[in-house]
Amino acid sequence: MYKQIDTYVNKCVSLTKEELEYFHSLLQYKKVKKKSFLLRAGEKCDFEAYIITGCVRVYYIDENGFEVNLLFAVEDWWVSDLASFSQQQSARLFIETLEDCELLFIDYKSKEALFKKVPKFERLFRLMIQKAYETMVDRLISNISKSAPRRYQEFIKKYPTIPQRVPQHLIAAYLGVSPEFLSKIRTRLSKA
């Protein structure tokens, strides 16, 4: 059950058996059915969740009622509304399972306790968020300076497994185009 997350953690920091066991003791295991919400905007987000199996999307509903997908997360990723989690304020994001999932949750208090007891985890989470930040920068650049067909091609190159697991209109809502246009892009590309 913890084998996968241990491998993940081990890539960044090296831990003793005791530290690892303490870490495990703070995690809560849950199975969650497809199409469930881990979080809705307005609630307080008191978790970061590590995905053992399954697929999840994190999205935002804009002022016109459109969904914007921020992230498709699969095995070995973390999901949360970090702004809500870390400042203990109400969430702006929705987190919804797209498949049946197995997850490990850690709550705010436990995370702080973990940092206090094993400061190496502070480093782990710093590196995690640093990577997320860089991904976000790439995506902003991509959105500002590349055409939709380009963005789609880069998406399937970067996340080749996602299109098989996630409906196309959700990918459109990730790329920031209408589902109709994504459909056009695909037929265009398949002809060329």
Does residue 177 interact with DNA by CB under 7 A? Answer: yes
- Please, which residues have CB within 8 angstroms of residue 67's CB and are 6 or more apart in sequence? 59, 60, 61, 173
186 binds DNA (CB under 7 A): yes
| Residue from 26, 82, 113, 148 binding a second copy (CB under 8 A) | 82
The answer to whether 30 contacts a second copy (rule: CB under 8 A) is no
Interacting residues with DNA between 133 and 162 (CB under 7 A)? 147-149
Size of the site for a second copy (CB under 8 A): 31
Could you say which of a second copy, DNA, none residue 119 binds, taking C-beta under 5 to 8 angstroms by partner kind? Answer: a second copy
Judge whether 78 and 28 are in contact, CB under 8 Å. no
Give the range of 35-43, 62-70, 98-106, 158-166 binding a second copy by CB under 8 A.
Answer: 62-70
Vertex 16: Cα angle to 15 and 18 (nearest 5): 120
Cα–Cα nearest to 76, from 99, 97, 46, 104: 104
